[in-house]
Structure 1
Amino acid sequence: MNPSGLKLAYLCAVMNAIIMGFSFLFTKIALEFAEPLDTLTFRFAASFAVMTIPVLLGRVRLNYRGKKLYKVLLLAALYPLGFFTLQAYGLQHATSGEGGILFAFTPVLTVLLAFLLLKETTTILQKLSICLSVSGVLFIFMMKGSGIDWSNMTGILLLFLSCVAVAGYNVLARRLLKSFTPAEITYVMLGVALLSFLSVSLARHATAGTLDQWFSPLASGPFIAAILYLGILSTLVTALSSNYALSRIEASKMSVFFNLSTIVSIAAGAILLGEEVQMYHIAGSALIIAGVMGTNLLGKKSGRQVQSTNRAKAG
């Protein structure tokens, strides 16, 4: 594998976590002006429109001829459709803290699915590192007073299924990227999401007789700024970069980077909102970072590394 391509893949994974970490803040801003479904519609409209420009100009070439497009549609059904829908309804019955706790287990689910469907294997040290990263997230949320109320089984189940959807996306995308480019997959994902959320959003407003209010959030500067961040950076850029990273590194290694977004959220709250950083934030963040590094550095040697080691011993 091209070393420069591998470095770029890891850079994309880290960039993803940073963008996702700030997305929680911008989502809060957007939801002050619009309903969740309307926010998702505007978010994907912005991302699809921005990507369409280079496609029309020929800067980004897409070729779906002779390819099994239905598999990409299945991917889009998992993420973003499945994830955002399940998360939205799950959070109606559960707290954001419960959502954060459950989402931390996404790397574990990804490892299981990657083993079952892709035959990806991880070493014992990698498994322990993933658990270390998960424990760092859990420690932060627990110290903040968050926990899981098992009486909210509907919300917990929906949030858990949203994590399964992301894990399934990581695994399926890893397989599809052998025949599709990251741009080809991303463009279909964004288009499907936009059409789906737009249809449901307009139908709900038409039923409620509030179609005239659909564009009203666009009169707000903060809402537009939030939508541009969520649409361009947190949707388009993260989709392209995650698909690129998944084309270069294993799904299990990629998924553990999601937990870094927890650290970024803490930093964003401290820098932009003046929230106090406690010692448990630092301790939990250290566990997360150690887990991410261990997952990606303690794997099995690649064939090229083994060959070079054997040559050195023979010499």
Structure 2
Amino acid sequence: MNRTEIKLAYILAVLNAVIIGFSFLFAKVTLDYAAPLDTLTYRFAASFIVMSIPVAFGWIKLQYRGKALYKALLLSLMYPLGFFTLQAFGLQYASSAEGGILYACTPVVTLILASIFLKEKTSLLQKLSIFLSVFGVVFIFVMMGSTIDFSNVTGLLLLFMTCVAFAGYSVMARSLSKQFSPAELTYLMLGVGFVTFLVISMIQHIGAGTTDRFLAPITNSTFIVSILFLGIVSSLGTALAANYILSKMEASKMSVFSNLSTIVSMVAGAMFLGEEITVYHLIGSVLIIAGVVGANYLGRKQGVQQQLLSGSSL
């Protein structure tokens, strides 16, 4: 692995955070027209169908034969299935603010799992930087008046499990990157997500006699545009990018970039929804950015040297 590949991984990590930040805006729009499970079905349908085109024409080569396919399926159980399912049910019992606060803890959970299962080593300053980034997100939510209701055990537990699911995905994808290409992991993840969410959604609608509601949103151009962004740009684009990044970068370093999406979502909300940006938003953003830079720059020289030396094994 050369320095160009490492730089590309960092660029994609920032781009990923930008896309995820905007995805919150588009997700809000889709919920005005369809139920959460239906939006997930359409979202993964769009991503899977679009990626199936270059696969069908042979532009993207996939080779699963002789590989530990069950491990890749287990990866899909963590993300997208585990993550989105736990999130959907968790938000039924808890607020979106509580979800945002707990999701900010994902880098910490990833740091712990990566150190246990991948033996990733981080310096004390890098660990402090990761915590600083998490604190920046929590600071913004708290200053907005959001708090965590600890009496709501069910909702908080489910939302915390979304952190574990995404952290588990990051760690396992990092490990599987030695056996599978980013495209192979992404295609399998999207396919499993599409089929699973479609089956569950149709069972619910058929049982309730509301099949017409499932098809109704596709007549709305705003819904279609939002779903295309979520499916193609967000789900497909970020999955490909994330699987590539995890083949070049430690899971603990990549995960901290996710907190940048909080800044992007604030900017998007201000630009398109007229939401206010205050001083505490700016302070929290500075803390987040400082944490991301510190987690990736402090000890970076040593880390890059190790990556270059071990690049052949990746």
Q: Normalised by the size of structure 1, how large is the TM-score? A: 0.96
Give 1:1-315 correspondences, 5 Å limit.
Answer: 1-299=1-299, 301-302=301-302, 305=305
CA apart distance, 1:273: 1.3
Shift in CA distance, 303/96, structure 1 to aligned 2, threshold 3 Å = closer
1:270 and 1:68 map into 2 onto residues whose CA distance is 46
Cα distance per residue 1:96-116 (max 9 Å; x no partner): 000000000000000000010
Aligned partners of 1:30 and 1:226 also within 8 Å: yes
CA apart distance, 1:212: 2.5
Cα distance per residue 1:116-152 (max 9 Å; x no partner): 0000011000000001100100100000001100111
1:40 and 1:228 map into 2 onto residues whose CA distance is 12
Shift in CA distance, 304/231, structure 1 to aligned 2, threshold 3 Å = closer
1:301 and 1:156 map into 2 onto residues whose CA distance is 38
Output the aligned Cα RMSD.
1.1
Unaligned runs of 5+ in 1: 307-315
2:239 and 2:127 map into 1 onto residues whose CA distance is 26
Aligned partners of 1:123 and 1:300 also within 8 Å: no
Instruction: Tell me which structure has the larger Cα radius of gyration.
Output: 1
The residue aligned with 2:311 is none
The residue aligned with 2:310 is none
Decide which moves more: 172-181 or 212-221.
212-221
2:213 and 2:82 map into 1 onto residues whose CA distance is 27
2:199 and 2:72 map into 1 onto residues whose CA distance is 20
Shift in CA distance, 305/214, structure 1 to aligned 2, threshold 3 Å = closer
Aligned partners of 1:19 and 1:238 also within 8 Å: yes
Q: Percent identity?
A: 63
Amino acid corresponding to residue 180 of structure 2 in structure 1: F
Cα distance per residue 1:133-183 (max 9 Å; x no partner): 001001000000011001111000000001100000000000000010000
